[in-house]
Amino acid sequence: MDRTASSLLSVQLGRHSFDAAYSSPFVVDFAYPWLYVCEYCLDYTSHYDDWDDHCNGKSPCTVVTPPGRLVYLDEISRGQHPYGRSETLVVYEVNGSLYPYYCQKLSLLGKLFLENKLKTYDVDDLVFYVLCVRGCSGDHIVGYFSKLKEVQTITYNLHKLVIFPPFRRRGYGSFLIGFSYFLSRLDGSPGRPELPLSVAGQEAYRVYCRKAIFAYMRARDPNSPVDLTIEEICSWTGICGDDVSQVFLWLKSFAFDAEQGKYVPRMIAKDYNRFAKLMRDSTPLISVLTDKCVQLPLSQTKKLAG
């Protein structure tokens, strides 16, 4: 019976199985309440035998990476990793207009875990950043985010973000949020995600912004006589001013601005120790490092071409 995946119970992605949270407009013969997905090309079926033949048969799928451009590669040792493991993280930039079929499949799979984001088949105006962990047999997808190629007014740096259930609570969500802000810094304009965010998404961004600003404060001389301003943090982190202000308000950090004649959100030297105390039990972010960028992302390539 052909139907959408509204009654889908379980997903098999590579060697991982997990439950879907929401419906997604897959159109396939769901003979069983399962969706079997090739973790490399993302072809899907509801029949285990077909999936097993595709992945492990006499002529198995030869795809071992997402399509598109490899833009980031970081081999992280156990000693350097904030979560105490060694792994190689890679990010692929996949243009929706060049690889529509892959991006449609990715959007359909992601929709199983997103309540509000409805765009699935129309991917021409999107670019996808796919995060994988490199293994012996290929690059294993753990999640992705998408963003609009052209935004005319507000500088949105993220359209939707998905980390698949087996890979959550490992720092990958914060890493991809950080990568979206890395793109904002490359573009020279602070950004923010498109709204609305889910409750979990709001909390993820609150935590990320606090950690990113704290990381900047640790890198900066805490005894510096110059107050830490919103503009300085925006420039270094890529986070927009409104979101930086929320962290200052959370810290109750204000300083008197003589020009404006009032107190404004601003961090002064004595706030550092209080901030450090609040953040002492938090796991540091998996850093997005400029020197691990293999080639320029799409927006920067267009700028150079222009």
- Portion of the chain with pLDDT greater than 90, in percent: 53
- Spot the catalytic one: 194, 231, 232, 259: 194
Q: Which pLDDT tens digit goes with each residue over 142-157?
A: 999 999 987 655 689 9
Residue 289 C-beta-side C-alpha neighbours within 13 Å: 11
What is the Rg, in whole angstroms, of the alpha carbon atoms belonging to the chain? 21
Contact 225, 269 (CB under 8 A): yes
Range with top average pLDDT, 90-104, 118-132, 236-250: 90-104
Stretch 206-217: mean pLDDT: 91
Contact 71, 297 (CB under 8 A): yes
Measured distance CA(239)–CA(189) in Å, rounded: 9
Q: What is the pLDDT of residue 250?
A: 86
Q: What interhelical angle do 199-219 and 271-278 show, nearest 10?
A: 130
Measured distance CA(302)–CA(19) in Å, rounded: 40
**In this structure, is the dihedral angle defined by the CA atoms of residues 79, 82, 83 and 88, taken in order, positive or negative?**
negative
Nearest C-alpha neighbor of 239 from the set 192, 288, 179, 186: 192
Q: How confident is the model at residue 305 (pLDDT cuts 50, 70, 90)?
A: very low
Contact 41, 31 (CB under 8 A): no
Measured distance CA(254)–CA(59) in Å, rounded: 65
Q: What is the pLDDT of residue 304?
A: 36
Residue 268 pLDDT exceeds 90:
no
DSSP 8-state code for residue 116: S
194 included as an active-site residue = yes
Residue 181 pLDDT exceeds 60:
yes
Look-up of token digits 């499949």: 105
pTM tops 0.85:
yes
Q: What is the pLDDT of residue 232?
A: 87
Helix (H) or strand (E) holding 75: strand 69-76
Q: What is the pLDDT of residue 303?
A: 47
C-alpha to C-alpha distances, 254 to 177, 268, 293, nearest whole angstrom? 27, 8, 37
- Portion of the chain with pLDDT greater than 70, in percent: 85
Stretch 197-210: mean pLDDT: 89
DSSP-assigned letters across all residues of 120-182: -S--TTEEEEEEEEE-SSSEEEEEEEEEES--SSS-EEESEEEE-GGGTTSSHHHHHHHHHHH
